[in-house]
């Protein structure tokens, strides 16, 4: 019997729940990890309940973080506003009207201090959905950790840092692809030496699925991007075992329950096989696909929004049955506005009910051996493999993206899905099926419209009080290093310590790297 969360493993009726079953072929914790990356999976430890949150000011978001932690959340996941995601300060003219609207506004080290105030960074892991400015936000986090007395090698968490999917689907890229890849490998190298417990990238299928791709395309495009990151890191002289154990993945979980379970199982096996066949990895962790899951925001409807609780529950259960390492459950009101305290709590409670009441967490790979799930797992594996080979023939993920190939595939799949819904071939309750007269009783969260002004005032005060000469010298050092192959991360840390802002550091890089406009895919 596996040691872990419970003294014994039995159903509600008292029937034994074995760890292994007669005729079992795949075993958890053993290559190729189809059944899971850990021997005992959730019997030893539950997945991390990591709710995505961020809105308005750092202070208000900090209060939401503390509320969720108090109610049982085990990790933080930070949503940044659009200016922050694009590396713009809150007082940039392009930020007007967007400050704090879809996430928290972070322009300075002081903002990061407020965001993490009273949260012990040696005990709580933090995920940050940030890409183009990922190095800068992580630098701020490292500094705040040091101010708390937590050295960099004790910090735990993840930066998304996946720029290829931004070019494919999400759009918050800034620099050209080659320069973006340079920043990513600089992060890999610096963290391998200094922030050893940090996941340096979360290679994301989530956003390409939200843009409309299929489950199979999600696996293929995500793993193909991951191979591109591996190759880029190796080209800088890193050994695969220096960074591959800290690679992590981020997947969507949609409504087709069995397909989603099979997708996760196929992705684990395919990643193991790709690393095993292509690279000389000695550390088994280099071949283990570890992933976070978020349920499908795209599937949530503004019509009959309480129905979204059912959708989220089905999707979350699929993620658990598929063996996720951490999970975010969306709130039922997210098609209407930012989650309220009530809806965010219900979303967290959904995970807790699955964990403690459903029995799903007591069984390792509960759907392994199902004829249907095994059939789907094999089909997704084979189809995704074929797509990756096609991308390889184009020169890899980045080359295909520059040609708009993945973008076209995503557009075509999204268009087909929309046609199916509009024709009634695919039914969506509340949209084209199960319709009813509605009175909207959902109250959307109201944000403080004065935040933009207060952030601008804070930035003006910072710039007037800092040592301007030292700050400008820090930015000049980044420009000079950007012209070379020197690692930029230490210089970014120095600049942030010298009170340079997010936007100023990004501008220093833009002065050398330039910016880029991706092809539309058509």
Residue 52 backbone phi and psi in degrees, to 5: -75, 125
520: pLDDT confidence band, cut at 50, 70 and 90? low
- Which is it for strands 157-159 and 125-128: parallel, antiparallel or unpaired? parallel
Judge whether residue 43 has pLDDT over 90: yes
CA distance readout (Å), 102 to 57, 61, 172, 447, 458: 11, 12, 13, 10, 20
Look at the block and give the residue holding tokens 């790297």: 513
- Extract the tokens encoding 424: 């009634």
In tens, the pLDDT along 447-494 reads 777 899 999 999 999 999 999 999 999 999 999 999 999 999 999 999
In tens, the pLDDT along 91-131 reads 999 999 999 999 999 999 999 999 999 999 999 999 999 99
pLDDT for the residue numbered 2: 45
Q: Which DSSP letter does residue 104 get?
A: B
Look at the block and give the residue holding tokens 């459950």: 329
The answer to whether the CB of 187 falls within 8 A of the CB of 200 is yes
Judge whether residue 522 has pLDDT over 70: no
DSSP line for 423-443: HTSS--BTTTBS-------PP
Homologous superfamily in CATH for domain 41-423: Methylmalonyl-CoA mutase (3.20.20.240)
3-state secondary structure 280-299: CCCCHHHHCCCEEEEECHHH
Judge whether residue 87 has pLDDT over 60: yes
The answer to whether the CB of 366 falls within 8 A of the CB of 321 is yes
From the CB of residue 338, how many other CB atoms can be counted at a distance below 10 Å? 22
Is the whole model's pTM more than 0.85, yes or no?
Answer: yes
Taking the C-alpha atoms of residue 162 and residue 160, their distance in angstroms, rounded to an integer, is 5
Give all strands (DSSP E) within 9-130, no chain letters. Answer: 48-53, 75-78, 125-128
- Extract the tokens encoding 322: 């598929």
In tens, the pLDDT along 49-73 reads 999 999 999 999 999 999 999 999 9
pLDDT for the residue numbered 521: 47
């Amino acid at each position: 019997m596996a040691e872990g969360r419970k003294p014994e493993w039995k159903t509600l009726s008292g029937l034994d729940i074995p760890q292994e079953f007669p005729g079992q072929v795949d075993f958890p914790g053993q290559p190729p990890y189809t059944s899971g990356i850990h021997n005992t999976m959730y019997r030893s430890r539950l997945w991390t309940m990591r709710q995505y949150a961020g809105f308005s000011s750092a202070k208000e978001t900090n209060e939401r973080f503390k509320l969720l932690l108090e109610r049982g959340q085990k990790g933080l996941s930070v949503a940044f506003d659009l200016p922050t995601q694009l590396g713009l300060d809150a007082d940039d003219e392009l930020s007007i009207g967007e400050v704090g609207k879809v996430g928290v506004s972070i322009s300075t080290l002081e903002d990061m201090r407020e965001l993490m105030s009273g949260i012990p960074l040696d005990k709580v892991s933090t995920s940050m959905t940030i890409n183009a400015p990922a190095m800068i936000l992580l630098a701020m986090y490292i500094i705040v950790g040091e101010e708390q007395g937590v050295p960099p090698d004790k910090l735990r968490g993840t930066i998304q840092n996946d720029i290829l999917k931004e070019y494919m689907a999400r759009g918050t890229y800034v620099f050209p692809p080659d320069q973006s890849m340079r920043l990513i490998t600089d992060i890999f190298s610096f963290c391998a030496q200094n922030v050893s417990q940090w996941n340096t990238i979360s290679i994301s299928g989530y956003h390409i699925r939200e843009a409309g791709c299929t489950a199979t395309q999600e696996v293929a495009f995500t793993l193909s991007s991951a191979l591109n990151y591996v190759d880029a890191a190796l080209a800088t002289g890193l050994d695969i075992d220096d960074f591959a154990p800290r690679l992590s993945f981020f997947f969507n979980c949609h409504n087709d329950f069995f397909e989603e379970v099979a997708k996760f199982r196929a992705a684990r096996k395919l990643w193991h096989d790709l690393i095993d066949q292509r690279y000389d990895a000695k550390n088994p962790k280099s071949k283990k696909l570890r992933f976070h899951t978020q349920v499908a925001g795209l599937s949530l409807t503004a019509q009959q929004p309480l129905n979204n609780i059912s959708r989220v529950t089905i999707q979350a259960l699929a993620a658990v049955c598929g063996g996720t390492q951490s999970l975010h459950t969306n709130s039922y009101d997210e098609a209407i506005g930012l989650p309220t305290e009530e809806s965010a709590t219900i979303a967290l409670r959904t995970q807790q009910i699955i964990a403690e009441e459903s029995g799903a967490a007591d069984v390792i790979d509960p759907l392994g051996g199902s004829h249907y799930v095994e059939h789907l797992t094999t089909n997704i594996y084979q189809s995704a493999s074929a797509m990756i080979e096609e991308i390889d023939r184009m020169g890899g993920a980045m080359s295909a993206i520059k040609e708009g190939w993945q973008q076209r595939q995503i557009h075509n799949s999204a268009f087909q899905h929309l046609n199916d819904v509009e024709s009634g071939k695919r039914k969506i309750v509340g949209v084209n099926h199960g319709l009813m007269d509605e009175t909207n009783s959902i109250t959307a969260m109201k944000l403080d419209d004065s935040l933009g002004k207060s952030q601008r005032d804070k930035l003006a005060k910072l710039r007037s009080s800092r040592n301007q000469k030292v700050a400008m010298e820090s930015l000049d050092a980044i420009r000079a290093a950007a012209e070379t192959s020197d690692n930029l991360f230490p210089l970014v840390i120095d600049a942030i310590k010298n009170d340079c802002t997010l936007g100023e550091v990004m501008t220093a890089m833009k002065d050398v790297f330039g910016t880029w406009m991706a092809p539309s895919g058509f």
